Structure 1
Amino acid sequence: MTSTYKHIVHYYETDRMGITHHSNYIRWMEEARVYYLKEIGWGYDHLEEIGIMSPVTKVDCSYKHTTTFADEVSIHVSVEEFKGVRLKLKYMMYCKEQLVCEAYSEHCFLNKDGLPIRIKKEYPEFYEALVNEER
């Protein structure tokens, strides 16, 4: 499943040249990821409530085209890879049907003490939700 999150570029997200500063795409990835997990029934608030933390371990962005103030950016999020320990999400960002950014984020899963969690063993329902989402 691919989930689509929409973001309107805010004025403060642009630089002196009037284009979106590259750092904002990383923020949008987080917004889209939070939205995606909620869409599949595992919102961040619920994950933290049951003791799952999911820090970012890697981010990769390839910028294809600029965006500007008031542009609507559609961010398509999907599970690129999940093997139970590491989750890799893919983000395809479009503005007016033009690809503006292709990106990936990788995450691990930790308990509240910062120790790795075996999702398949400790949270099988969450594991199944992610496995079923993998491309």
Structure 2
Amino acid sequence: MTQEEKQTELRWYGAPLRVRYQESDQMGVVYHANYLNWFEIGRTEMIRQAGFNYRSMEERGVLLPVIEINAKYVSPARYDDLITIYTAITDFSRLRLNYTYEVRRVTAEDHKSQIGKVWTQADTLPGELLVTGVTRHVWVSTEWKPVRLDQVLPDLYTALWSAMTGGEGEKA
């Protein structure tokens, strides 16, 4: 399988969450900006599942700021819903990283089995689709200068490549 084909085969990582009261309005509907926070939870947990965390990245001098966000609202989440934030890397290079997200309302059974599980494109993600989104990021130093991740944190570069591809193919 070529690198291009491999990058189109998404590997989804799940982060379960119960909608909290503070995230909803008086009608019990989740306020739209909370989905952006949930995207952050999704990518943070995905990196954690790859064996890293944001704190260690930052302590080692690498930041990953958001440079673009898109979200499409399909159906509202409501207070006390069980949801899962599914996150996948859709584009990855030495300088940039793009994530895609699907926020889905799930059953109690699906909610219990989310952590550590990886879904591929051949799998159907559980639950009712609520929101889709994309965030684009650039790797920078603590001085906000662009950096090549493969040079400054090669172990993170390898871990993210493996998270995206399942460890197959040549690195971008």
The TM-score with structure 2 as length reference comes to 0.74
> SS of the residue aligned with 2:101?
strand
Q: Is the counterpart of residue 73 in structure 1 residue 83 in structure 2?
A: yes
Kindly provide the amino acid, as one letter, of the partner of residue 153 in structure 2. Y
Deviation at 1:123, TM superposition (A): 1.8
Kindly provide the amino acid, as one letter, of the partner of residue 86 in structure 2. H
Distance (Å, rounded) in 2 between the aligned partners of 1:86 and 1:2: 19
Kindly provide the amino acid, as one letter, of the partner of residue 49 in structure 1. E
Larger relative contact order, structure 1 or 2 (CA cutoff 8 Å, min sep 6): 2
The runs of 5 or more residues in structure 2 that have no matched partner are 1-10, 107-126, 166-172
Question: What percentage of residue pairs aligned between the two structures are identical?
Answer: 25
Paired residues in the alignment total 135
Deviates more, 1:115-124 or 1:47-56: 115-124
Per-residue displacement from partner, 1:26-84 (whole Å, max 9, x unpaired)? 01111121111111012101101111111111111111111111001111111111021
Match of 2:50 in 1: 40
Deviation at 1:132, TM superposition (A): 2.3
Kindly provide the amino acid, as one letter, of the partner of residue 37 in structure 1. I
> SS of the residue aligned with 1:32?
helix
Distance (Å, rounded) in 1 between the aligned partners of 2:54 and 2:93: 20
Deviation at 1:112, TM superposition (A): 1.2
Kindly provide the amino acid, as one letter, of the partner of residue 133 in structure 2. A
Distance (Å, rounded) in 2 between the aligned partners of 1:81 and 1:133: 12
Q: Is the counterpart of residue 56 in structure 1 residue 66 in structure 2?
A: yes
Deviation at 1:24, TM superposition (A): 0.4
> SS of the residue aligned with 1:80?
strand
Q: 1:8-47, aligned counterparts within 5 Å?
A: 8-47=18-57
Kindly provide the amino acid, as one letter, of the partner of residue 26 in structure 1. L
Q: 2:97 aligns with which of 81, 87, 91?
A: 87
The TM-score with structure 1 as length reference comes to 0.93
Distance (Å, rounded) in 2 between the aligned partners of 1:118 and 1:81: 15
Aligned Cα root-mean-square deviation (Å): 1.3
Q: 1:98-109, aligned counterparts within 5 Å?
A: 98-109=128-139
The runs of 5 or more residues in structure 1 that have no matched partner are none
Distance (Å, rounded) in 2 between the aligned partners of 1:81 and 1:12: 33
Deviation at 1:17, TM superposition (A): 2.6
Deviation at 1:16, TM superposition (A): 2.9
Match of 2:155 in 1: 125
